[in-house]
């Protein structure tokens, strides 16, 4: 089966592009699972998990809307992305950010669940993807 991409209308199959250059490398477009053991409770409704720094470009103090990381709970996309940490803590409801620590030493996903439950005990799966598609 062939599908046209939005950006340049090239034909692709499930193994990659036909006659073109992919817009996202295979290593950045795959789904990454979040191990619940890696999730730490933060303030309010916020939780954090450290991820590989090579996966996409995270938001930072100098550029708060650069990340294209998309976060999923049981396959349903969470959002809004690029949320302030205050909104994640106080509002929850799926707000998240893909964030470079101010020290520059690690990258984390700072997030809340769709219903503000604890992701370590709510028996849901959490995955993320960086494929060049803007998050919601």
Task: Identify the residue whose tokens are 């020290």.
Answer: 103
Query: What is the percentage of the chain residues whose pLDDT exceeds 90?
Result: 68
Query: Does the residue 17 lie in any domain?
Result: no
Query: Does the residue 7 lie in any domain?
Result: no
Give residues with Cβ within 8 angstroms of 66, minimum separation 6. Answer: 57, 58, 59, 60
Query: Does the residue 117 lie in any domain?
Result: yes
Query: Does the residue 3 lie in any domain?
Result: no
- The pLDDT, as a whole number, for residue 28 is 47
Q: Tell me: pLDDT of 6 over 90.
A: no
Residue 57: other Cβ atoms inside 10 A = 16
Please tell me the number of Cα atoms within 13 Å of 79 on its side-chain side: 12
Query: Does the residue 119 lie in any domain?
Result: yes
Domain with 68 in it: 24-130
Note whether 64 and 82 are within 8 A (CB).
Answer: yes
**Mean pLDDT over residues 19-34, rounded?**
56
Q: What pLDDT, in 10s, does the model give residues 32-42?
A: 999 999 999 99
Note whether 125 and 33 are within 8 A (CB).
Answer: yes
Average of per-residue pLDDT values in the chain: 82
Q: What pLDDT, in 10s, does the model give residues 83-123?
A: 999 999 999 999 999 999 988 899 999 999 999 999 999 99
């Amino acid at each position: 089966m062939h599908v046209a991409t939005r950006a340049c209308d090239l034909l692709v199959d499930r193994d990659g592009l036909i006659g073109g250059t992919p817009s996202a490398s295979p290593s950045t477009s795959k789904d990454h699972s979040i191990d619940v053991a890696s999730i730490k409770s933060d303030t309010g409704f916020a939780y954090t998990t450290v991820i590989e720094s090579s996966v996409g470009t995270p938001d930072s103090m100098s550029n708060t809307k650069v990340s294209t990381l998309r976060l999923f709970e049981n396959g349903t996309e969470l959002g809004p992305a690029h949320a302030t940490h205050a909104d994640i803590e106080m509002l929850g409801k799926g707000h998240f950010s893909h964030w470079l620590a101010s020290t520059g030493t690690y990258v984390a996903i700072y997030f809340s669940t769709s219903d503000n439950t604890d992701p370590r005990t709510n028996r849901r799966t959490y995955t993320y993807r960086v494929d060049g598609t803007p998050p919601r």
